[in-house]
Chains A and B, each alone.
Chain A
Amino acid sequence: MADARAIGQRGDARLWLAGGWLLVALLAAIFAPLIAPQDPLAQDLMFERLPPFWMQGSQPGYWLGTDSLGRDLLSRLIYGGRVAFIVAFAAALAACLVGSTLGLIAGYFGGWPDRIISRIVDVWMAFPPVLFAILLVAVFGTGLSSVIIAIAVIDWTRFCRVVRAEAMGQARMDYVENARIAGYGRLRIMVSEVLPNVVPTIVALLSLEMGIAIIVEAILSFVNLSISTDDPTWGGIIAEGRLSIHQAWWVLVFPLITLFLTVLSFSQFGEGLKARFDPVLR
Chain B
Amino acid sequence: MAEPLFRVSGLKVALPDMTRKPVIGRAPLVHILKGLDFELPRHQVTGIVGESGSGKSTLGRALVRLIEPSAGSVIFEGRDITHLAEADLKPLRCNLQMIFQDPMSSLNPRRTIGAIIAAPLKQNGLGDNIAARVAEALRRVGLPENFAKRYRHELSGGQRQRVGIARALALSPDFVLADEIVSGLDVSTQAQILTLLEKLADEMGLTVAFISHDLSVIRRLCKQVIVMRNGEIVEQGPTDALFADPKHAYTRDLIAAIPLPEIDADWLKAG
Contact = CB atoms under 8 A, between A and B. Distances in A.
A6 interface: yes
A39 B10 CA distance: 75
Contact of B17 (A2, A10, A12, A13): A2
A278 to B, nearest CB: 15
Contacts of B22: 9
A6 B23 contact: no
Contacts of B17: 2
B23 A13 contact: yes
B17 to A, nearest CB: 7
Contact of B23 (A1, A3, A5, A9): A9
By secondary structure, the B interface counts as loop
A2 B23 contact: no
By secondary structure, the A interface counts as helix
Interface string A11-48: 01100000000000000000000000000000000000
B21 A12 contact: no
Contacts, number: 16
A208 B206 CA distance: 56
A5 B17 CA distance: 11
Range class of the A interface residue count:
under 10
Nearest to A13: B23
Interface residues of B, number: 6
A9 B21 CA distance: 8
A5 B22 CA distance: 11
A146 to B, nearest CB: 44
Contacts of A2: 17-19
Contacts of B21: 6, 9
Interface string A129-140: 000000000000
Contacts of B19: 1-2, 5-6
Which of A1, A2, A3, A12 has the most chain B CB atoms closer than 10 A to its own CB? Answer: A2
A204 B21 CA distance: 23
Interface string B12-49: 00000111011100000000000000000000000000
A197 to B, nearest CB: 21
A1 B19 CA distance: 8
A6 B23 CA distance: 9
Nearest to B18: A6
A12 to B, nearest CB: 7
Nearest to B21: A6
A18 to B, nearest CB: 15
A12 B17 CA distance: 18
A5 to B, nearest CB: 4
Nearest to B23: A13
Contacts of B23: 9-10, 12-13
9 contacts: A1-B19, A2-B17, A5-B19, A6-B18, A6-B19, A6-B21, A9-B21, A10-B23, A13-B23
